[in-house]
Amino acid sequence: FVTLGRRRIGRSDKRGNNFAAGLLAGRAVAHVLSLGRRPVVGVINRKRPMKTRELGDGLKVSAIGLGCMGMGQVYGTALEAGDAHKVLAKAVELGVTFFDTAEVYGPFTNEEVVGEALEPVRDQVVIATKFGFDIESGKQGGLNSRPDHIRQVVEASLKRLRTDRIDLLYQH
């Protein structure tokens, strides 16, 4: 098993391959993203470098990405920020460079946790986030993809993510 502190966050096979998908710290689900033509098997081998994929016109990302939605209360109790930071740091250590979040996760708190954890390694990772909802009084409202709203969301996301750029922005 791969451990986070005293908690198991995944399992290893006999050759030391770590399975990235599964329960993280017993409370959040990691999403293994399939990029490119073939689905990516959720295995990280510490002995070989992480494979990469190219998105669009030159955005290079790890073949296995981490969807960060599950670090919030979406799947039950949210991870403590410190535990989420450990999960994100471990993912970077294992070669994951692609992290996905959204303003609606929390709302807002997921971007804050991701931004805080990835700030020290910002130039080594790709951060994706999403727009598309009105968030009123901390609750998801209706859809909103008006240009002025997108500008507001991007400005707020940049602050929460503690960065000067969003590598991949897309509509939720």
Catalytic residues: 105
Question: Computed from CA positions of residues 158, 55, 172, 109, in that sequence, does the dihedral angle turn out positive or negative?
Answer: negative
Strands 28-32 and 65-67, bridge-based pairing = antiparallel
Tokens of 42: 């959720």
Closest CA to 45 of 98, 118, 96: 96
Listed in sequence order, the DSSP H helices in the chain are: 81-93, 109-118, 147-160
Buried b (16+ CB within 10 A) or exposed e, 20-46: beeebbebbebbbbebeeeebebebbe
Instruction: Answer for the pair 39, 11: CB distance below 8 angstroms, yes or no.
Output: no
